[in-house]
Amino acid sequence: MKEPTISALLIVFNEEKNIEDALQSVEFADEIIVLDSFSTDKTLEIIKTKFPAVKIYQNKFEDFTQQRNKCISYAKNEWILFLDADERVTPELKAEILSEIKKPVTRKAYFFKRKFFFMGQQVNFSGTQNDKNIRLFKREVAHYDESKRVHEGLSNVGNPGTLQNYLLHFSFDSYDAYYKKVIHYSKLKARDLYERQIPYQLFKQLSKCCFNFFKMYFLKLGILDGRKGFTLSYLSALSSFKTYEFLKEEYA
């Protein structure tokens, strides 16, 4: 019986701080593909020097869905393992992945539970306790829903399984880095709302902002994460506020 094969995929832009550790964690894959959005730092230099077998492609970034689908188009193997540059596959998760895909009957896709780190420290609450994403799936179902620019999701995955070992998510090492991501995502979400003809409403902007803070800080127990929990709850609220600010600009 033919052994199942894996293509590990990453989409990157200016990830010189993360790329080496990320690639080391997926070296067990049969092929590794990096789709770069024309990085201006040393990301590509690090890959070419330390990981010569990695296949590098470049494509202008439009949105996450388009970029992920473009990256998938280069993959040749039966299984796709999609990783963000700030994520790490642990040895335990690696063993579980390889064991799972060798089973006679498998799911089409699998959720990975994630342990979230912010500014070098693990976050235990603030909504992260239920954090999971589909990171492993068969190439036959490998297509992201093009109607979603942000928080992109796969189409036609059936009933995904969930692996038990954790993917490590080293999200941001500074407040400024997270703030920049909030602004970037907010612009993409605003564009998505505009194209769906969702009108700007001040009441909705303020209510979503307040509710997101309340939900993360109290309902999702961010208060138990101390200062980190407050900061993450504030940034969640800010994301909603900025999304509608950018939506207002789209209609201007």
Given pLDDT bands bounded at 50, 70 and 90, which one contains residue 155? confident
Model pLDDT for residues 178-191, shown as the tens digit of each residue: 999 999 999 999 99
21 has a pLDDT exceeding 90: yes
Q: Where are the domains of the chain?
A: 6-172, 175-251
42 has a pLDDT exceeding 70: yes
Whole-number pLDDT of residue 150? 67
202 has a pLDDT exceeding 70: yes
| Separation CA 156–CA 159 (nearest Å) | 9
152 has a pLDDT exceeding 80: no
Q: Measuring CA to CA, which residue among 73, 192, 84, 196 is closest to residue 143?
A: 73
Q: What's at 10, amino acid-wise?
A: L
Given pLDDT bands bounded at 50, 70 and 90, which one contains residue 162? very high
Question: What average pLDDT is seen over the chain?
Answer: 95
Can you name the CATH fold of 6-172? Spore Coat Polysaccharide Biosynthesis Protein SpsA; Chain A (3.90.550)
What value does the mean pLDDT take over residues 195-217? 98
Q: Measuring CA to CA, which residue among 11, 7, 72 is closest to residue 38?
A: 11
Are 246 and 200 spatial neighbours (Cβ–Cβ below 8 Å)?
no
| Separation CA 69–CA 63 (nearest Å) | 10
Are 182 and 240 spatial neighbours (Cβ–Cβ below 8 Å)?
no
Are 230 and 222 spatial neighbours (Cβ–Cβ below 8 Å)?
yes
- Enter the pTM of the model: 0.91
| Pairwise pLDDT comparison (141 vs 151), residue with the higher score | 141
| Separation CA 113–CA 78 (nearest Å) | 22
Are 222 and 216 spatial neighbours (Cβ–Cβ below 8 Å)?
yes
83 has a pLDDT exceeding 80: yes
Spell out the alpha helix ranges (H) of the chain: 19-24, 43-50, 64-72, 91-101, 175-195, 202-214, 226-251
Q: How many CB atoms lie within 10 A of CB 19?
A: 27
Whole-number pLDDT of residue 221? 98
